Structure 1
């Protein structure tokens, strides 16, 4: 699967959340956070379908779209690519930059510590 553009990734995030949706349903979600035309949403989803990012159920008059790739698989691929291109393959640099962007909550830091402990225990 090709790397999704920012607009495609936004549509994928809604489809992962909803499981499946019509263009109108996705467009309504997009419209909650930004101004975009219905035909723009339709065109992007048609392109995503032609790229193999989405499947389309054409049984009814309203086509229902589903994401092909799982959210986790796409995230892993994007992070791997970002780490290689922007951080010279260094997971440390990526994590340090990500954590430095905003102030993680105490709960988030606790979850991160627990995850690091898990990783450490796997290596022992």
Structure 2
């Protein structure tokens, strides 16, 4: 892993972050119980320790059971991950990334309308 994306979460770390973003700060046991797939308790503990070292989570050691929280908001992490994907896979070409994202799954008319509304809103904010 290059230093540039050293703080990028792995797939397993992202699963843990999803729990923390959705449910808020939690102990290892609480995270372990809320994961969507079977993972050993010690694996969750080790992942959270690594995530703390990487700066992905904070650890409150004031209680017997340490409480972990996501260090960054979901949107900030998503933005950083998309920027990394944009740079590495699309040489910064946002239009190509968007075209690939749109073609990756069949969108409903409602989803397409919502995307058009978001683009219009984005353009409106840029011109203000």
Output the TM-score relative to the length of structure 2: 0.86
CA RMSD of aligned residues (A): 1.6
Q: Distance in 2 between matches of 1:122 and 1:60?
A: 45
Per the alignment, residue 91 of structure 2 pairs with 88
User: Equivalents in 1 of 2:84, 2:40: separation in Å?
Assistant: 31
Alignment size in residue pairs: 122
Deviation above 6 Å: which 4+ runs of structure 1? none
Which residue of 79, 83, 98 corresponds with 2:101?
Answer: 98
Per-residue CA deviation, residues 13-39 of structure 1 (Å, 9 max, x unaligned), is 110111111111111121xx3221111
Cα distance change, pair 65–92 in 1 and its aligned pair in 2 (3 A): same
Does residue 11 of structure 1 match 2:4?
A: no
TM-score w.r.t. the length of structure 1 is 0.89
1:64 corresponding residue in structure 2 = 67
Quick one: structure 1 residues 63 and 103, their matched pair in 2 at CA, closer, same or farther if it must change by over 3 Å? same
Q: Which runs of 5+ in 2 are unaligned?
A: 1-5
| Structure 2 CA distance for partners of 1:58 and 1:85, relative to 1, 3 Å | same
